Chain A
């Protein structure tokens, strides 16, 4: 036992050295502190040579998806090693350049349900950050009632013929491929759904960006007209789409709660911002005691939320599999995120409500767009109300109200 433990410590120490050496050799210093983790949501910026070389260095090693199996291009690291890599990246001011829906949602789901051939085809390009995936779930009449979806995939022998409309397709205009849930049988609401992979450049796919209140167009309407999809692109069995699709949503909710990486992206704390823009008394405390109290109230609950996210992770690890708390995390994290945006605006006053032009700093304008975009967080990925239904029914065992 002791020897085994010692060996593990030695291996981890060796890995830390390996990670340090890798970062020293490959991380371009000019990218220090410039994470582009949100690029997948907010649209691509033309990649600079430095960004490209960093993405390729991390991608070819599989370290952007550190715990995924090596045979499909993942890093094959243990969770412990992945954490060490994370720590060393943070220490070097580096970031993981591999992200997006392929990493957060589709990859883990395909690893679980995909065929050998599908995994071999689709996972490696995700690990290298070469392919952008988008999500074909919601439809105009299938929002919270997602299983009401009508997009139809008709069996035509060696392929499906897909017709219908998807909406709120995040990043649809930039995506190479789409993982979609479609109807293969009209006679059964849930068992008539299948999980299909669709090329976005296939004939008959049309994408129209939707302009949002934040001024950006991160979501699209996607129209499918007689789109041919090879049968090899069916994940799992016909009719298994609702099960697979829900599993993917669990991954989505865990990521959307914002507990982990988003906390780091949030920048200066509310209290720092308030001290910078408002008056402080002789002791260095905020002179506005009401505001001070509200910030403390928020900070305490935010801390408790971060502790909850950590606890959920530890519990999932101990139990193996996504924790039931994932639904709670999404609901709590998104609401707190919105509360924070509102407080930030209140702290800055009208200076914190700039739309464009001179007289506003970059972070001020970004915060406004972030505040508006943030209103979507309690709606997408299963609205807060849907989360409440799920918690009541699945976790608390209350009766279905429908």
Chain B
């Protein structure tokens, strides 16, 4: 665990308590069974606690509390699979912060910080993350293109959309059509078709704007993944300490102990990598490399820990009644978002000049 300030510890404890009491996995199950990806009351509670404005400057109604602080919240919500557009909206807000004009910032940031508006990022045009292949075009301020998998689109008021020549702001409304896509994580995803939708360019931020925004998306996704990995580890360890076979608790078998010790080491590396990404964002130094390491380690370790979690639970882990399977299904979606392991290794090598 990174060394936190007193305020950060308070924020983390608050998020931990809220997630455990107000948003346990049972809350996600309820949403899932209702076929809904969004809990308006929970969203308003988060906004009231200030979580929707953690990285947004005070001048625009946020608390400017930094990325490490935001990461703590995302991690705690990841632990209970809280279904919320908080991460998506924060990443999209960062695009407005980095590339928006004064008018765009004062139009959107206060509303996002206050939770009145939800924003999300729409980049990829296929099943794989590939920001180099963008066909969406803008002419005369009208954007046309299709984004087949946009997270949290159903509840978004604002889309930050990648077109061939940069990022654009598109409000939900005329020229924007959504078709739900039901992925294995049973969270809110949709195909979004932009057909001559009014679009405003984010003209600031320079040539690296889209990469800078994607790095933020990678790092915050890694935080959610860290919370999930930690939870799967803890739950699995508890299970091994309770389950009795051959008249012994499973936790006394050395074969299982060594697998848990391995996962413990992997989890330590994942946490270091994710916190390294957050610290890079707060210091502004080495962000691209740190984000790549963070998401690559998050992918590697969460992948392994969810597979091991199921195996170590045995047959009971295959049942819907147990939570472990929900983590597995969410994990693969997050692994694919904003860069699969092969994408990230390629990016790491490219950044390293080889």
Contact = CB atoms under 8 A, between A and B. Distances in A.
Q: Do A and B bind?
A: yes
B273 interface: yes
Interface in B292-319: 292-293, 296-297, 300
B349 A271 contact: yes
Interface stretch (A36-44, A131-139, A186-194, A387-395): A387-395
A400 interface: yes
A223 interface: no
B272 A292 contact: no
A297 B265 contact: no
Interface stretch (B14-22, B66-74, B143-151, B251-259): B251-259
A144 to B, nearest CB: 13
Nearest to B289: A303
B252 A399 contact: yes
Contacts of A226: none
B349 A311 contact: no
A397 B269 contact: no
A266 interface: no
Interface of B is mostly: helix
B3 A318 contact: yes
Nearest to A309: B272
Nearest to A306: B272
A398 B345 contact: no
A296 B261 contact: no
Given A271-B354, A399-B251, A303 B268 contact: no
B270 interface: yes
Nearest to A297: B345
B353 interface: yes
Interface string A288-331: 00001101110111011101101100110010000001001001
A292 B348 CA distance: 10
Contacts of A117: none
Contacts of B257: 388-389, 392-393, 396, 398, 401
B275 interface: yes
Contact of B275 (A285, A311, A389): A311
B273 A398 contact: no
Contact of B251 (A331, A385, A389, A398): A398
Nearest to B344: A300
Contact of A296 (B241, B269, B349): B349
Most buried by B among A293, A296, A328: A296
A331 B297 CA distance: 18
Contacts of B300: 301
B174 interface: no
A124 B261 CA distance: 40
A391 B269 contact: no
A399 B252 CA distance: 5
A392 B345 contact: no
Contacts of B273: 303-304, 307
B350 interface: yes
A332 B269 contact: yes
28 contacts: A271-B354, A284-B354, A285-B354, A286-B349, A292-B349, A296-B346, A296-B348, A296-B352, A300-B344, A301-B300, A304-B270, A304-B276, A307-B272, A307-B276, A310-B272, A328-B268, A332-B265, A332-B268, A388-B257, A389-B254, A389-B257, A391-B265, A392-B258, A395-B264, A396-B260, A398-B240, A399-B252, A401-B252
Given A300-B297, A392-B254, 11 more contacts: A274-B354, A296-B352, A301-B300, A308-B269, A310-B272, A314-B3, A328-B264, A328-B265, A388-B262, A396-B261, A399-B252
